[in-house]
Chain A
């Protein structure tokens, strides 16, 4: 039993602590607020990338990347040159997370300016008011691919989960279609697939003969999972990190790997002799978004224009094999980089078509959870 005095002091401590903590939390919540002034609905641009509507950008721009080698390249081709030219500073965070953006917007304390996210996030963010509408005229003077600039964002890059293998594994030519990926007698060997609902279910839909080019994008989850049952015994690894499938090819763990298309470009640059096909894949796009209420809206808008300029896009593509919508960027690209772009007409023609992220907006939870339950069995 506690003594009376110590019981009283315990109560006192409790009371003081709760009050002080409440004050601290309230203080944190109110101290934040949008700064730097919001963007107008349209801007004028000039030759100087540091000036928007006659206003010179300044301060610190807070960008989010996936970190690692990609952030290093982005620094080299986008952020460092922009910092040098315009006298701004950069703050880096990684990895991208829509959950964090949502939490920031909900808490009215947004510390990020620019991020790249999936195409489904376009609709989620548009609905939840996470994205800053891009001012009209921001990309004036840059020839952009049709559809690559929208109200709430601009293409960071089209991409696909393509299939790749060592050329030595299939000297007479590797698989070309989704049905070939399922054909383990004609193309024997361990498969390494992404542990993600979209690429797996799309592969199964293509193997089931669904024509995404002629019919509206949809996925029959049960039928797709039933089809994947056939492939499952041959799947050696369900990868969760983008370097695993290429490492798996190198170590011999995997014979056919499902990878982000840029990884094939990277591995080929490193000397690997790989074959690949777009024939068992759909093409999706990741987008750049300005986050609403971010600390430096003017700076990040000017930065986005700089990033999407043809020269910068080409430098990025030459390093990673991805590029956004600036059409003239191809003029400055190496032939290998050009060949690796998911938006290359040859690759688009070979692919099964395009992802419609509105289906995912409506069905993502259901599909992702069903896939998880299936893959864990």
Chain B
């Protein structure tokens, strides 16, 4: 009796086995193999590969590039996504649905096609360069950092926008804005003291998501960027496919993974801290109210 009862209680949990199995088989075991690879050098265990990643060219340079460009993408994406999210939340309904649909449409076009599209738009005989020449200025964007950023922001924008719009639709209480305006608050003050505090968890989540996904860019910087805009995925490709140095490629990959884990950990720490502070603040408020 006891056995069947326990079995019944655990049966639900057993439903998770296939998913856990999949994670173990396709993520944890291969990751373990990658880690083992990274820690081997000339047939013995050593940290040489990681030492090289941290001390030898071109790795530190590429990591700096990657972080710098991902930050730039994140800031640009947020700046573009914020007004869209606010407008969608204010107007709501059909307007928000159309905005979401339009953004999602660009998400459905393959990354490679979009990148080649930018290739033409930014190129020497593209509309931007041609318009520039007609006005007597030289606007060369292909193989430059600004051009690469434009193409990458285009790729990342749906990833920033969609969660932010979703959050804004749920979280912003526009009656507070009306109240602030009724009390005479100016626009900027409303934005910074009423809107952004409500939107900030969504902004943070979108920023972290955008930053982390950006760290893995490959096709766009490879085709649109100059060598100065090299990102870490390109270096992993070089190590793996040109130099056949799997251990070194593994060490670079794991360093990137560690970077992502750190960013994610900081994010969760901030979320937890803020939530705890908010709860304490609430408690104090209640205590004061009943004092």
Contacts and interface: CB of A to CB of B under 8 A. Distances in A.
Interface stretch (A17-25, A31-39, A215-223, A293-301): A17-25
- Chain B contact-residue range equals 35 or more
A138 B14 CA distance: 58
A372 B142 contact: no
Given A252-B125, A365-B243, A368-B243, A373 B57 contact: yes
Contacts of A89: none
Interface string B234-258: 0100101111111000000000000
B134 interface: no
A21 B123 contact: no
Given A9-B10, A24-B25, A377-B228, 19 more contacts: A5-B9, A5-B10, A6-B13, A9-B13, A12-B14, A13-B17, A16-B21, A17-B17, A17-B24, A20-B21, A99-B241, A236-B143, A238-B227, A253-B142, A369-B58, A370-B57, A373-B57, A373-B58, A376-B61
A234 B58 CA distance: 23
Interface string A221-251: 0000000000000001110110000001001
A185 B291 CA distance: 86
Interface residues of A, number: 42
Contacts of B230: 372, 376
Contacts of B125: 251-252
B244 to A, nearest CB: 5
A355 to B, nearest CB: 16
Nearest to B227: A375
B25 A98 contact: no
A167 interface: no
Contacts of A369: 56-58, 243
Contacts of A17: 17, 20-21, 24
13 contacts: A8-B10, A12-B14, A14-B20, A17-B17, A20-B17, A240-B223, A365-B243, A368-B242, A370-B57, A372-B238, A373-B57, A373-B61, A375-B227
Interface string A355-375: 000000000110011101101
Contacts of A14: 20
Given A13-B16, A376-B65, A97 B241 contact: yes
Contacts of A373: 57-58, 61
B6 interface: yes
A11 B128 CA distance: 60
B157 interface: no
List of 3 A-B pairs having minimum Cβ-Cβ separation, nearest first: A373-B57, A9-B13, A373-B58
A284 to B, nearest CB: 15
Contact of B244 (A99, A370, A372): A99
Interface in A65-124: 97-99, 102-103, 124
Contact of A241 (B16, B223, B235, B243): B223
A176 interface: no
A47 B65 CA distance: 60
B222 A240 contact: yes
Given A240-B222, A365-B243, A13 B14 contact: yes
A24 B24 CA distance: 11
A55 to B, nearest CB: 34
Nearest to A124: B244
Interface in B1-58: 6, 9-10, 13-14, 16-17, 20-21, 24-25, 29, 56-58
A126 interface: no
Contacts of A102: 244, 246
A21 B9 contact: no
A376 B20 contact: no
A195 interface: yes
Nearest to A128: B244
B258 to A, nearest CB: 21
B21 A9 contact: no
A156 to B, nearest CB: 18
Interface in B123-174: 123-125, 142-143
Contacts of B226: 237-238
A267 interface: no
Contacts of B212: none
A10 interface: yes
